[in-house]
């Protein structure tokens, strides 16, 4: 028993590597006393590897495992998630007694070291099917034996969702019923998707959130951030966005403050990948090799060209065309809710 404990994440490409950098920075910012480990696939490029090494205690190369189960992944509309089988390699980190795995699209909002008091397999409910745990944040004990059993389980049974969450829920199949101490409060894995499906609960409990999880197709690094205004400029309309603008902005702030300087150093004399890193230009974008011209945040006028009747607004809302930065912004909805509650 080494007595060592670690937070562990995974990135198989540069997009998720940036997520991992923000996650690592958020854990450090909140003063974790545990080690930080990033598992990385071979497609993570060297500049990102460099920045990861500056944040994490260990950056471990791993082979990418892919479920190849396109049929089940299609059901989730996430063909990209077969590679999440790679997550199962976290059980090989046997130099640590206990670990907390966190998806690269999560961000700590406070110190969460108390999670190490929990046992394998502790996790929070999945917002889509709460009798399943969400595998974006979980406590586990590295073990060669468990790792082998998991791989055998995958080979024999596959995964009902085509990704790691299906396998892990089938493998740790008493989670829902056996031991309530293995149920982490939802606040340790607040899926941004859940915020809009139960807004009053978010309003009531949300301030105590400890980890935000940008679950779903849209990730923070898919957007463009305007450094000067401190706003994400291309925040999408429609329910598919599923991201809370405040958390999205917090993610970008941390990325700008803690990650960009590391990437800058890593790229050295090469053309700096993001236009936002250059003096005089203002945006930072996910695609760091393509320098995007500065884009202004949508003005009030462009996001709502004329006052809309409430019937028209209702129709747009029902068609999934919310004006997230304007009339339908979280702040406005909150104000409306407040007026009802008063």
Determine, following the binding rule CB under 6 A, whether residue 67 of this chain makes contact with ligand GLC. Answer: no
Determine, following the binding rule CB under 6 A, whether residue 192 of this chain makes contact with ligand GLC. Answer: no
249, containing H or E segment: helix 245-254
Contact 101, 140 (CB under 8 A): yes
In Å, how far are 5, 37, 234, 302 from 2, measured between CA atoms?
9, 16, 47, 59
Residue 189 CB-half CA count within 13 A: 25
Tell the smallest beta-carbon distance from residue 77 to ligand UDP (Å): 11
- State whether residue 245 is helix, strand or coil: helix
- Measure the CA–CA gap between 98 and 138, rounded to whole angstroms: 11
Q: Which of 81, 83, 139, 284 binds ligand GLC (CB under 6 A)?
A: 81
Q: What are the percentages of helix, strand and coil residues in the chain, rounded to 5?
A: 45, 15, 40
E runs forming strands in the chain: 5-11, 35-40, 58-61, 98-102, 106-108, 122-125, 133-140, 190-191, 211-213, 224-226, 231-232, 283-285
Determine, following the binding rule CB under 6 A, whether residue 163 of this chain makes contact with ligand GLC. Answer: yes
What is the Cα 153 distance to its own chain's centre? 27
Region near ligand GLC per CB under 6 A, out of 129-137, 251-259, 275-283, 298-306? 129-137
Q: How many residues bind ligand GLC (CB under 6 A)?
A: 12
What is the dihedral angle through the alpha carbons of 74, 77, 80, 82, rounded to the nearest 10 degrees? -50
Determine, following the binding rule CB under 6 A, whether residue 165 of this chain makes contact with ligand GLC. Answer: yes
Residue nearest to ligand GLC (CB): 163
Residue 12 interacts, among ligand UDP, ligand GLC, Mn ion, none and using kind-specific CB cut-offs from 5 to 8 Å, with: ligand UDP
- State whether residue 199 is helix, strand or coil: helix
Which residues here bind ligand UDP, judged by CB under 6 A?
Answer: 9-13, 16, 80-81, 83-84, 87, 103-105, 136, 215-216
Tell the smallest beta-carbon distance from residue 215 to ligand UDP (Å): 4
Burial 93-124 (b: 16+ CB within 10 A, else e): beebebbbbbbbbbbbbeebbebbebebbbbb
Which residues are CB-contacts of 250 (< 8 A; sequence separation ≥ 6)?
A: 107, 109
Tell the smallest beta-carbon distance from residue 198 to ligand GLC (Å): 18
Determine, following the binding rule CB under 6 A, whether residue 166 of this chain makes contact with ligand GLC. Answer: yes
Residue nearest to ligand UDP (CB): 103
Helix 260-267 vs helix 46-55: crossing angle, to nearest 10: 130
Q: Which of 164, 226, 283, 288 binds ligand GLC (CB under 6 A)?
A: 164
Tell the smallest beta-carbon distance from residue 85 to ligand GLC (Å): 9
Which one, 129 or 331, has the nearer CB to ligand GLC? 129
Residue 292 interacts, among ligand UDP, Mn ion, ligand GLC, none and using kind-specific CB cut-offs from 5 to 8 Å, with: none
Determine, following the binding rule CB under 6 A, whether residue 84 of this chain makes contact with ligand GLC. Answer: yes
Backbone phi, then psi, for 99, in 5-degree steps?
-140, 160
Which one, 47 or 136, has the nearer CB to Mn ion? 136
Determine, following the binding rule CB under 5 A, whether residue 126 of this chain makes contact with Mn ion. Answer: no
Region near ligand GLC per CB under 6 A, out of 109-117, 130-138, 265-273, 279-287? 130-138
Region near ligand GLC per CB under 6 A, out of 134-142, 148-156, 303-311, 325-333? 134-142
Which residues are CB-contacts of 271 (< 8 A; sequence separation ≥ 6)?
A: 291
Determine, following the binding rule CB under 5 A, whether residue 103 of this chain makes contact with Mn ion. Answer: yes
Determine, following the binding rule CB under 6 A, whether residue 103 of this chain makes contact with ligand GLC. Answer: yes
Name the residues that contact ligand GLC, by CB under 6 A.
Answer: 81, 84, 103, 134-136, 161, 163-166, 215
């Amino acid at each position: 028993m080494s007595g060592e404990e670690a937070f562990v994440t995974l990135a198989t490409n540069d997009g998720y590597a940036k997520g991992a950098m923000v996650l690592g920075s958020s854990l450090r910012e909140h003063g974790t006393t545990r080690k930080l480990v990033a598992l990385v696939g071979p497609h993570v490029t060297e500049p990102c590897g460099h920045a990861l090494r500056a944040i994490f205690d260990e950056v471990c190369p791993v082979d990418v495992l892919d479920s190849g189960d396109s049929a089940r992944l299609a059901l989730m509309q996430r063909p990209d998630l077969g590679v999440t089988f790679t997550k199962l390699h976290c059980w090989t980190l046997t130099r640590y007694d206990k670990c907390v795995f966190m998806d690269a699209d999560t961000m700590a909002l406070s110190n969460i070291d108390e999670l190490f008091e929990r046992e394998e397999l502790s996790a929070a409910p999945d917002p889509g099917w709460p009798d399943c745990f969400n595998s974006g944040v979980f406590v586990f004990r590295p073990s060669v034996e468990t790792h082998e059993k998991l791989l055998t389980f995958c080979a024999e049974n596959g995964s009902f969702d085509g990704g790691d969450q299906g396998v892990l829920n089938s493998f740790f199949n008493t989670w829902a019923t056996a031991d309530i101490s293995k149920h982490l409060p939802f606040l340790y894995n607040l899926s941004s998707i859940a915020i809009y499906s139960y807004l009053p609960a978010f309003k009531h409990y949300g301030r105590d959130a400890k980890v935000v999880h940008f679950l779903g197709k849209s990730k923070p690094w898919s957007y463009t951030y305007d450094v000067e205004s401190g706003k994400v400029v291309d925040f999408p309309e429609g329910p598919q966005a599923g991201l809370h603008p405040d958390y999205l902005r917090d993610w970008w702030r941390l990325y700008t403050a803690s990650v960009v300087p590391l990437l800058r150093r890593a790229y050295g004399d090469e053309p700096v990948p993001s236009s936002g890193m250059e003096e005089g230009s203002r945006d930072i974008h996910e695609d760091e090799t393509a320098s995007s011209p500065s884009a202004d945040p949508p003005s009030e006028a462009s996001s709502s060209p004329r006052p809309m009747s409430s019937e028209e607004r209702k129709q747009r809302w029902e068609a999934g065309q919310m004006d997230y930065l304007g009339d339908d912004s979280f702040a406005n909805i909150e104000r409306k809710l407040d007026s009802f509650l008063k």
